[in-house]
Amino acid sequence: MGGVSPSGGAESAADPHVSAEEVGPDADAVASSKWPGRIGLAIGALVAVVVVVTTVVVASPGPDATLEQTRANASLEVLQIVNREPHFEVEGSSLRAHESFEGWDVFSGANAYGSPCLVVISQDAEWSRIECTPAPAELIADTFPASQSDSRMIRFVLDGDTVDAWVYPHAEAGR
């Protein structure tokens, strides 16, 4: 945006030595009128981000159940099942029972390396799942249906002193 100086030569609007009188009386109004629009746009964008984050956090489904620790220690049968899987090196004395869920007995403890472990055993003791993961990784044990009549998968997730249980229904063919 060039102009003509009082001396008749061409000047650039970017020239820092040009005064407001030389540019014209509307220069200040044009420059300052951009800021209210930008502030409004920034506030609007911030509100949109807050709404989206709040919706995601509030609308996110929680676990189907949260299983609290009970006062029960692991039984001899549980210790025998755990000892059948020696590569996990689960410390039997560390195992603590949690509430049962949907036909599964749940225990948490630690292995010889200090990593948290999750032990899930079907109540008929025909199926078990043992998982150990170094902290701070999320510890998950997935169970899969033992029969055709129950086609749901249950995911057990250790969360401190509790275990969250998430039920995933089987996807039917053709869906």
Cα 26 to Cα 18: distance, rounded to the nearest angstrom: 14
Among the residue ranges 1-15, 56-70, 112-126, 151-165, the one predicted with the least confidence is 1-15
pLDDT reading at 123 higher than 70? yes
Residue 40 confidence (pLDDT)? 75
Q: Which residues contact 12 (CB under 8 A, 6 or more apart)?
A: 2
C-beta separation of 156 from 163 below 8 A: yes
Per-residue pLDDT tens over the stretch 23-40: 665 555 555 566 666 777
Residue among 20, 100, 4 at smallest CA distance from 12? 4
DSSP state of 169: P
Cα 127 to Cα 62: distance, rounded to the nearest angstrom: 26
Burial class (CB in 10 A: 0-12, 13-18, 19+), 6: exposed
State mean pLDDT over 77-83: 92
How far is Cα of residue 19 from the mean position of the Cα atoms in its chain? 56
Q: Which helix (H) or strand (E) holds 120?
A: strand 116-122
Residues in the chain, overall count: 175
Question: Token pair 């057990």 is at which residue?
Answer: 156
